Amino acid sequence: MSDPFTVRLKTLIITTLKLDGVQPGDIPDDEPLIGSPRFGLDSIDALELVLVIEKEFGVKIGSSEESRQALSSVSALATYLRTRTAGAA
């Protein structure tokens, strides 16, 4: 079961990308986010997510490689943010 921080991230993803009809529980923790056939997210979605994540959590993602790594899955994103923010979890 996802922890509250992970649920918060999933809710943020759903809201940001306007994933109609998708619930936090529909997004697996460890599946790739970008390129996933289930949700059809692409690099433009990644761009939107990065901007929202930077604003919401006050982090700076430094390169496209770092962005790709952080967005590789919800779990990866949670780990990335936990290591860079105090009190995020």
Partner 1 sequence: MSSTVDQLPVGIAACECLTPLGNAPATVAALLAGRRALAMQPVLGRDGGDLVPLALLGPMDETLPPRWLPNLRGLAAAIPAGNWGTAREPVIVTSSNFGVGSLYAFTRDHDAHHLAHGTPFASVALLRREFGWGEHITVFSHACVTAHLGLAHAARLLHGGLADRVLVFSFDLVSPFVAGGFHSLKILNRQMPAPYAVRETGSIGLGDGAAFAVLSRAAAPFRLAAHALHNEMFHFTGNQPDGAGFAACAASIATAVGGRRVWVKGHGTGTLEAGRLEAQVVAKQFPGAPLVSWKGSLGHTLGSCGLVELAIALAAMRGGKIPGTVGGQAPSYADSVALEPFASAGFDGTVLTSNAFGGAHAAMLLTHD
Contact positions vs partner 1 (CB under 8 A):
42-44, 47, 50-51, 60-67
The answer to whether 13 and 38 are in contact (CB under 8 A) is no
Task: Name which of 6 and 71 has its Cβ closer to partner 1.
Answer: 71
Q: Give the shortest CB-83-to-partner 1 separation in angstroms.
A: 17
Q: Give the shortest CB-42-to-partner 1 separation in angstroms.
A: 7
DSSP one-letter string for 9-53:
HHHHHHHHHT-TT--GGGS-SSS-SBT-TTTTB-HHHHHHHHHHH
Q: Give the shortest CB-82-to-partner 1 separation in angstroms.
A: 20
